[in-house]
Amino acid sequence: MSTKEKVLQFLEQHKGESISGQDLADKLEVSRTSVWKAINGLKKEGYQIEATTNKGYQLSVENDLLSEAAIVPLLSEALKDHRIIAHKTIDSTNLEAKRIVNEEATFEGVILSEEQTKGRGRLGRVFYSPSESGLYMSLVLKPVADLDNATLITTAAAVAVCQAIETLTGKEPQIKWVNDIFLDGRKVCGILTEGIMDMESRTIGTIILGIGLNFRAPETDFPDVIQSIAGTLFDSKNAVVTRNQMAAEILNRFYVLYPDLASRSYLDEYRKRCFVLGEQVTFPQGSETIEAKAIAIDDDGGLVVALPNGETKTLTYGEISI
């Protein structure tokens, strides 16, 4: 870990408290000059570090830049060996994850970014990812128990995100099958699960799980096309929770569910939170739009619908409207 990372980790863990340059240097066993250089470097990167002559350095409690230093101390034991890589801006964290896996097939970890310039939804759609107002992250996973079923992983992630939001904010998010999380009737989070094929074994060797969560309203609001759809977790700039805390909580929750994916035990919670069950829904089939009643979530996370002719059909992927 570089001195800059060590300084940041210390300040993150003692947010709102002051520490003198000398004490910091002693604690981290580095020179005062390197502390001073590290502080200047961090300030340039946008960290709100206040310096007072008598008291020393302090990281503002409002500081909420995504960083490895802030996330790692909050992670559970299961994630201690995972790499956490935070970017200021990137095209897409899912694309970056794929590039990393191409270079290093055994990589396990999480890529986060403050902003995505090519945030991706499903089926080539765009996920609007403006700077510093959302949490955009991709988990690089190896299949467990030979399960590479994207729907199961997406549904487990949806439950983990809901649990994290509820734990940290007390708000009760709901799920729109299959990958959208809603709060007060608006989409606050979308999930995109993609598999990378292992060429030798011709099986899915790695799974990239992308999660995009709108934290607070973007500076210039949402674009017109999603104005009536998108919502945010918090109304104002003064969120009670930081994005770093939310990222860590989502990861901790997900890594409780993931190793046990085969048991499908989380699916009951998914069903309870899924607000489409019992509702009339429509979905595309070829050039037609079919209307049906959503009646169940099956054991693979598929949506079972009752068609007007009395037959049932299971949707495994795609988009429904309600």
List contacts with ligand BT5 (CB under 6 A). 92-94, 116, 119-123, 125-128, 136-138, 179-180, 187, 190-192, 210-212, 214, 226, 229-230
Quote the CA–CA distance of 173 and 163 in Å, as a whole number.
8
- Tell me phi and psi for residue 203, to 5 degrees: -125, 170
- C-beta of 122 vs 271, nearer to ligand BT5: 122
- C-beta of 5 vs 319, nearer to ligand BT5: 319
**In angstroms, what is the minimal distance from the CB of 126 to ligand BT5?**
6
**In angstroms, what is the minimal distance from the CB of 138 to ligand BT5?**
5
**In angstroms, what is the minimal distance from the CB of 122 to ligand BT5?**
4
**In angstroms, what is the minimal distance from the CB of 211 to ligand BT5?**
6
- C-beta of 59 vs 192, nearer to ligand BT5: 192
**In angstroms, what is the minimal distance from the CB of 195 to ligand BT5?**
14
- C-beta of 11 vs 213, nearer to ligand BT5: 213
Structure tokens given for 163 = 């649990």
Closest CA to 139 of 62, 219, 78, 64: 78
- C-beta of 136 vs 266, nearer to ligand BT5: 136
- C-beta of 61 vs 229, nearer to ligand BT5: 229
**Buried b / exposed e across 57-67, counting CB within 10 Å, b at 16+?**
bbbeeebbbbb
**In angstroms, what is the minimal distance from the CB of 124 to ligand BT5?**
9
Residue nearest ligand BT5 by beta-carbon distance:
190
